[in-house]
Amino acid sequence: MRLAAVPEGFEPCPVTDGRFADLVGTLYQRRDEPGRFGFPVEARHANVRETVHGGLLMTRADQVLGITVRRAVGMDVPVVTVSLHCDFVSGAVAGDWIDGEATIARVTKTLVFVRGTLACNGEVVLSAAGVWKMLRRPAARAAD
């Protein structure tokens, strides 16, 4: 099985999901388009029908939308996913490249509304909409 080549202009994206992100493989970002991401579908991402597992697609949607939110509010602002609604539209198989895009729909005092898609060969595989909450930073500790 051959992995999809990483298209020109993409580079590894640092995903701050702790060790969990290591389990699903590298997410790539487009250097010149901050809202564009992508990843190759690996054999380990397949379900029993040999198509990409829905759980992997939802994980990638959470990452793509979440990183877009963080970039919109500032990378130093902690955010968490409140809700993520996903619609599975079509499939992909090992060796395919999936493109991800997200856009901010609305920002309030504490919430960010975002939507996006994952697509393969120009066809939407998953559409997603979500809400992220901006957390307050913990108060700085007084020096002992």
Tokens 């902690």 locate to 78
Return the higher-pLDDT residue of 58 and 20. 58
pLDDT attached to residue 113: 98
Strand arrangement of the beta sheet that strand 10-12 belongs to:
10-12, 28-30, 33-40, 97-107, 111-120, 123-134, 79-88
142 is a domain residue: no
40 is a domain residue: yes
4 is a domain residue: no
118 is a domain residue: yes
77 is a domain residue: yes
* Per-residue pLDDT tens digits for 85-137: 999 999 999 999 999 999 999 999 999 999 999 999 999 999 999 999 999 86
Residue 74 sits in a domain of what CATH number? 3.10.129.10
Distances from the Cα of 120 to the Cα of 72, 91, 111, angstroms: 26, 8, 30
Per the structure, the count of domains in the chain is 1
Q: Which domain holds residue 96?
A: 10-134
Question: What's the half-sphere exposure (Cβ side, CA atoms, 13 Å) at 15?
Answer: 26
Residue 141 has pLDDT above 80, yes or no: no
